[in-house]
Amino acid sequence: MTQPKLNPRGSVSVIDLPVVSDPRGDLTFVEGENHIPFPIRRVYYLYNVPVDSERGGHAHKELEQVVFALSGSFRMKVDDGQTKSEYWLRDPRKGLYISRLVWREMDSFSQGAVCMVLASHRYEESDYYRDYKDFLAETQQPNQGVR
Ligand code: TYD
């Protein structure tokens, strides 16, 4: 497992979860503060997503998340304000950890894809950067290192 630093910013990493397989099927489990680096305060999921849909388009001031493709697949584009990269999520055993201050966009959903997100905080609109320019300005602030 790739263990992210505590409360980092601009950090994205893949978390491999355990799998227990037997002839009846596969079982994967996730424990807050064990497999993922924060207590889980919220779970949400996206489903019935049209294949041409684009989601995300924001960053968070404090929120940390781990994103899973429970079924199907989709693309996650991430941007820390300097470097852009992309991940294809398609394996329910792998979660994508996304720290605060990462701009994310999701697209290329397969038919019937289900995206589950484990989040470090409850929903709070004031935690969002929804304007890319505001996000970029924040990432260029000096002395905003790991807390
Ligand atoms: P948003 O986070 O913008 O969705 P996405 O990144 O998938 O495009 O949220 C869409 C709407 O849903 C927005 O009005 C806020 C609301 N919402 C909640 O009420 N609670 C939640 O936990 C989440 C994630 C969103």
Task: Domain ranges for the chain, please list them.
Answer: 12-139
Taking the CA of residue 117 as reference, the ligand 1 atom at the shortest distance is: 24
- End-to-end Cα separation, the chain, in angstroms: 22
- Residue 12 makes CB contacts below 8 A (sequence gap 6+) with 78, 80, 85, 87, 96, 97, 98, 99, 102
- Using the mean position of ligand 1's atoms as its centre, give its distance from the Cα of residue 37 in Å: 22
pLDDT tens series, the chain, 147 aa: 455 555 689 999 999 999 999 999 999 999 999 999 999 999 999 999 999 999 999 999 999 999 999 999 999 999 999 999 999 999 999 999 999 999 999 999 999 999 999 999 999 999 999 999 999 999 998 755 555
- Using the mean position of ligand 1's atoms as its centre, give its distance from the Cα of residue 55 in Å: 9
| pTM of the shown model | 0.93
Best CA proximity match to 113, nearest among 69, 54, 57, 56: 69
Q: How many CB atoms lie within 10 A of CB 5?
A: 12
Best CA proximity match to 108, nearest among 61, 65, 40, 54: 54
Residues 102, 108, 111, 117, Cα dihedral to 10°: 0
SS3 34: coil
How are beta strands 19-22 and 12-16 bridged, if at all? unpaired
* CA 145 to centroid of chain Cα atoms: 20
58 is catalytic: yes
Q: Does domain 12-139 have CATH number 2.60.120.10?
A: yes
